[in-house]
Amino acid sequence: MTERNVPHAELSTGPTDWKSGAMQARIARRYRRERIFQSLGLGAVVISVLFLVFLLGNIVKNGAYGFVQTSVSIDVTFSADLLGDPTSLSPEAFTEKVRKTNMLRLIQTSMQELFPEVKGRRDTRTLLRIVSTGARAQLRNMILADPALIGTTKRVELLTSDDIDQVIKGNIDISLPEANRKVKDNELSWLQTLQNDDRISLNFHSQFLTGGDSREPELAGVWGAIVGSAFTLMVTLLTAFPIGLCAAIYLEEFAPKNRFTDIIEININNLAAVPSIVFGLLGLAVFLSVMGMPRSAPIVGGLTLALLTLPTVIIASRASIAAVPPSIRDAARGLGASPMQVVFHHVIPLAMPGIMTGTIIGMARALGESAPLLMIGMVAFIVDIPGSINDAATVLPVQIYLWADSPERAFVEKTSAAIMVLLFFLIAMNGIAIWLRQKFEQKW
């Protein structure tokens, strides 16, 4: 086969001598090619698998640390002089006083007890930088929740700043010369002392899952983005599913076979392959500037993603409606059902598992989509958890994009951790889709 240009003379010399050395060599060469070809194929598959393992392994390796955070336990004296006395003050006055007090002074007192040798403004300030800026709010909330703390001394676990956290996690190379690293020698020696006292611990960090975004890596959380994603997907589902289902029913069951239907069909197939960013441009031009909807809001994001997933939903629903055998329709027609009743009472219930599967897969795609949302302003830095579909919000993939752009080293692991959260939701959704398909799919 490979040697098509066999010399003419050779062909005419009677039966081929397969045992001859030349033929044996040729067969060996052909089999060698066969083996090379097959291993190329295997190699392609192996490369894809290895890449996936590398990608996921890398993200899990980085991201695992995103769920834990270093804290330092120090003995805080809640002095009544500084904070006011809850027994003599009215509750409102006490709250007011606590709110106005700079909690840094509490931390400073405690830290200076631990490190009496640290003097001077500059060193003190560096010393206080061990503790996260979020520690103040943490202390304040503690006091407001339990005024009985006043006058006592209690060992409190406070978050450390992201730099200290990175040292503990081994992400800052402390063997570098001092000038080349963010954490200086004196900070490291204090940290060593704290570690020797067993005051440093690495704990599960629930704020990452329950908090909103922050400029400080140790305070940043994904909950705001999760809620934003949930609102956005809700809008997407509520628009894309009914419209997509109706369109699929029409095209599969009622549409006459004519040019116009052809155009709609070609159009849907092409729409499925339009780059997602173009849908973002459409959202920007139509929803924001023509209709004047609010920027950054999940309703706009949801509608944009609905347009994006509409073709997916239509194509999946059509396939699953077409899979219902005609005998079902004929039987229902024979018993006197109207065409509409045939579809809504018999075909759709039978096609539903497939439709749901297609819709969930479309929703999963929408959940991972970020480019069109950048166009409609869902990239803003938003600390508050959105409360409705009209509030400014961001979504998980965009949050990942924003954190990936942040310069702090600590955001690398936060980004990876956020990717793990996103992948968890995607795997869950696809798992449900596969489960639905296997449980309810009918073979006709």
Subset of 319-358 contacting another protein (CB under 8 A): 338-340
3-state secondary structure of 407: coil
Q: Which is nearer to another protein, 201 or 406 (CB)?
A: 406
Q: How far is the CB of 145 from another protein (least distance, A)?
A: 33
- Distance, in Å, from the CA atom of 278 to the CA atom of 414, rounded to the nearest integer, reads 30
Min CB(250)–another protein separation in Å: 4
Q: Does 149 bind another protein (CB under 8 A)?
A: no
Task: Please identify which residue in 268, 297, 363, 436 interacts with another protein, judged by CB under 8 A.
Answer: 268
List 374, 392, 432, 437, residue binding another protein (CB under 8 A): 374
Contact 374, 300 (CB under 8 A): no
Q: What's the sign of the alpha-carbon dihedral 349, 352, 354, 355?
A: positive
Stretch that binds another protein, among 137-145, 182-190, 382-390, 398-406 (CB under 8 A): 398-406
- Using the rule CB under 8 A, is 277 a contact of another protein? yes
Contact, 369 vs 397, CB < 8 A? yes
**Which amino acid, 6?**
V
Q: What are phi and psi of 219, to 5 degrees?
A: -105, -10
Q: Which amino acid is at 157?
A: E
Binding residues with another protein: total (CB under 8 A): 90
Nearer to another protein, 150 or 225 (CB): 225
Strand order in the sheet with 153-159: 153-159, 68-77, 200-204
- Residue 52 lies near another protein (rule: CB under 8 A): yes
Residue 31 interacts with another protein (CB under 8 A): yes or no: yes
Candidates 360, 379, 385, 393; binder of another protein (CB under 8 A) is 379
Contact residue for another protein among 98, 130, 237, 307 (CB under 8 A): 307
- Among residues 25, 64, 246, 428, which is the contact residue for another protein, using CB under 8 A? 246
- The residue within the footprint of another protein, chosen from 209, 278, 319, 322 (CB under 8 A), is 278
263 binds another protein (CB under 8 A): yes
- All residues at 6 or more sequence positions from 379 whose CB lies less than 8 Å from its CB, including other chains: 296, 373, 394, 398, 401, 402
Is 55 an interacting residue with respect to another protein (CB under 8 A)?
A: yes
Please report how close the Cβ of residue 297 comes to another protein at its closest, in angstroms: 15
Site for another protein in 283-302 (CB under 8 A): 284-286, 289, 291-292
User: Could you give the CA distance from residue 304 to residue 373 in angstroms, rounded to a whole number?
Assistant: 8
Structure-token pair, residue 409:
């080293």
34 binding another protein? (CB under 8 A): yes
Please give the Cα distance from 241 to 316 (Å, whole number): 11
Alpha helices (runs of H) in 336-376, residue ranges in sequence order: 339-341, 348-368, 371-375
Query: Can you tell me the distance from the alpha carbon of 42 to that of 364, in angstroms, rounded to the nearest whole number?
Result: 30
Residues 85-124 that bind another protein (CB under 8 A): none
61 residue type, one letter? K
| Helix residue spans in 171-222 (DSSP H) | 185-196, 207-210
Q: How far is the CB of 24 from another protein (least distance, A)?
A: 15
Binding positions for another protein, 167-226, rule CB under 8 A: none
With contacts defined by CB under 8 A, name the span among 78-86, 103-111, 205-213, 367-375 that binds another protein: 367-375
Element (H, E) at 157: strand 153-159
Q: Which of 16, 141, 206, 270 binds another protein (CB under 8 A)?
A: 270
